[in-house]
Amino acid sequence: METMSKFRFPSCPVVVALCLGCFALGCTGGDSLRDIQASGELRVVSRNGPTTYYQDRNGAAGFEYELASLLATDLGVRLNMQPAFSLDAIFRQLQRNEADLAAAGLTLTESRASAYPHATSYSRLSPQIIYVAGTSRPRTISDLVGRTILVLGGSSHAISLRALKNDQFEQLQWQEVDGADTMELLERVDSGEADLAIVDSSEFAVMQGLYARLRVAFELGEEQEVVWFLSPGKDNARLLQHIDEFFVRLNKDGTMERIRDKHFGHTASVTPVGSHTFTRNMRDLLPTYRDLIQQVATEFTLDWRLLAAIAYQESHWNPRAASPTGVRGMMMLTLPTAREMGIEDRLDPMQSLRGGARYLKNMKRRLPEDIAEPDLTWFALAAYNIGLGHLEDARVITQLRGGNPHLWVDVMDHLPLLQKRTHYANTRHGYARGAESVTYVQNIRHYYSILRWQEIPRNHSLSPIQTGKLLPAIIRNSGFLAL
Ligand code: GLU
């Protein structure tokens, strides 16, 4: 396969290699770093899609967007982010020097590396074959023969398939979809239009919640490197060195981990069955309570979709829910908490939501002031579930073990230690079911991210690929779009 799975740039002879690269690629222009600084603008081309670059209600967003804007700040220039609507368009823009770099979840392949300079890899992923649960699952490459397979046009996956066809699977056929968003591929497989799709593991993990029937059949080849490619016409040695150092810094100070967690961290714990039930309930149950949730969220200046996600995790939006431990109602409040929050009837959904919202706001207020959003919200949720004292213990353990107690990604790794004697014996509040609170927070994040997809059809300014068309039918039909 052509992709360069184990590719690593040697750190020392980088500059020599880059100059040779520049020579080999026939660059004639000036120094790209100097040009960027002189123009006061970093031109970055990206794919418009949920894992790379899109518009949410607060403006531009996405993993690649966030990294690119940090680089622009680092260079002291303005970010000019340009959406591209196909992979070919991205490389065309680089070729014509209409962009300085491409930040678009692009896999390093031999052919790309020979045509475009690239920085060190900032991520790794595996290409995954996706199928619909209940249809026959392919297990090897020869099982792909005779199926309709979708890949993005010009993608690394198309390159891999071509190599396999030339190699020994002559019968292999596939369709290259002209677009930039892998969500469209998943949509077509989900609707039965095609049998299989090949998408990157990072992208499938984020979108799986929206397509509860889709599963990974197997991984096509080894892990691959993801890189930023540069416009080839210039001397890029200094720019590449700057970017490499920038990534080293981001990795060292925890920024990279924080951004990665923000964009991909909510994908880990919900099972496909859980996602399926959620999307069904979102369609059938949520419309009944949506106005109520929105009203209470407005009262407490909370994002209503966050409140809805918590209520779902607590009770599956059942106002009469009860557990043997005595918690009750839409937000599953204990009697003492309900009293403290001034709630008389826990089974009244409005009262329960108000109690939960007030409790969450309390938690947020009582957490250390220097914890930034969105981590503050994740911590408040953990405290809501396990109590502030235990959370504080987990933050202390995190710090003692070299982690950052201000980052949810770090504390979440240490919360389960509250279940181990060697650790909880030395804490102030003792044993707690830390692993459960991690699941609790991660589930809510997952539900919250699904609910947030309702914003995507408003992506008009960015996207000629009408994103509304690409939204999973389940969300299209859920009534959200009428909001
Ligand atoms: N990583 C892919 C590429 O570089 C694009 C994303 C995908 O097709 O899943 O071509």
Residue 413 sits in the same domain as residue 391: yes
Tell me the two tokens of residue 453: 């997809």
**pLDDT value, residue 315:** 92
Task: Name 197's bridge partners.
Answer: 130, 150
**119 near 240, Cβ under 8 Å?**
yes
Decide if 263 is inside a domain.
no
Q: How far is the CA of 204 from the centre of ligand 1 (A)?
A: 11
pLDDT at 389 over 50: yes
Decide if 473 is inside a domain.
no
Strands 41-47 and 101-107: parallel
Sign (positive or negative) of CA dihedral 295, 301, 306, 307:
negative
Residue 18 sits in the same domain as residue 74: yes
Residue 106 CA: nearest ligand 1 atom is 4
Q: How far is the CA of 199 from the centre of ligand 1 (A)?
A: 7
pLDDT at 466 over 80: no
Residue among 176, 314, 392, 455 flagged as catalytic = 314
What's the domain range around 79?
12-122+227-256
Residue 291 sits in the same domain as residue 341: yes
Q: How far is the CA of 151 from the centre of ligand 1 (A)?
A: 9
Decide if 302 is inside a domain.
yes
List pLDDT tens digits, range 365-377: 999 999 999 999 9
Residue 108 sits in the same domain as residue 233: yes
182 Cβ closer than 6 Å to some ligand 1 atom: yes
Residue 19 sits in the same domain as residue 96: yes
**pLDDT value, residue 267:** 64
From 46, 63, 152, 161, mutation site for ligand 1 pocket: most ligand atoms within 8 A of C-beta:
152
Mean of per-residue pLDDT scores for the chain: 85
**pLDDT value, residue 475:** 43
Give the count of domains, the chain.
Answer: 3
pLDDT band at residue 57 under the 50/70/90 scheme = low
Decide if 290 is inside a domain.
yes
Decide if 459 is inside a domain.
no
pTM, two decimal places: 0.69
pLDDT at 459 over 70: no
Residue 332 sits in the same domain as residue 404: yes
Residue 379 sits in a domain whose CATH number is 1.10.530.10
Residue 208 sits in the same domain as residue 233: no
pLDDT band at residue 12 under the 50/70/90 scheme = very low
Residue 112 sits in the same domain as residue 134: no
155 Cβ closer than 6 Å to some ligand 1 atom: yes
156 Cβ closer than 6 Å to some ligand 1 atom: yes
**67 near 472, Cβ under 8 Å?**
no
Residue 391 sits in the same domain as residue 356: yes
Residue nearest to atom 7 of ligand 1 (CA): 199
Decide if 180 is inside a domain.
yes
pLDDT band at residue 272 under the 50/70/90 scheme = low
Rg for the chain, CA atoms, rounded: 24
139-153, 284-298, 466-480: least confident range: 466-480
Decide if 407 is inside a domain.
yes
Residue 343 sits in the same domain as residue 368: yes
357 Cβ closer than 6 Å to some ligand 1 atom: no
pLDDT band at residue 142 under the 50/70/90 scheme = very high
Residue 202 sits in a domain whose CATH number is 3.40.190.10
203 Cβ closer than 6 Å to some ligand 1 atom: yes
Residue 321 sits in the same domain as residue 440: yes
Mean pLDDT of 173-182: 89
Higher pLDDT, 258 or 67: 67
**270 near 209, Cβ under 8 Å?**
yes
Q: Is 314 an active-site residue?
A: yes
6-10, 79-83, 164-168, 402-406: least confident range: 6-10
**pLDDT value, residue 61:** 81
**53 near 46, Cβ under 8 Å?**
yes
Decide if 6 is inside a domain.
no
Q: Can you give the length of the chain in residues?
A: 483
- CA proximity to 108, closest of 3, 11, 247: 3
Residue 211 sits in the same domain as residue 329: no
Residue nearest to atom 10 of ligand 1 (CA): 155
Mean pLDDT of 335-363: 93
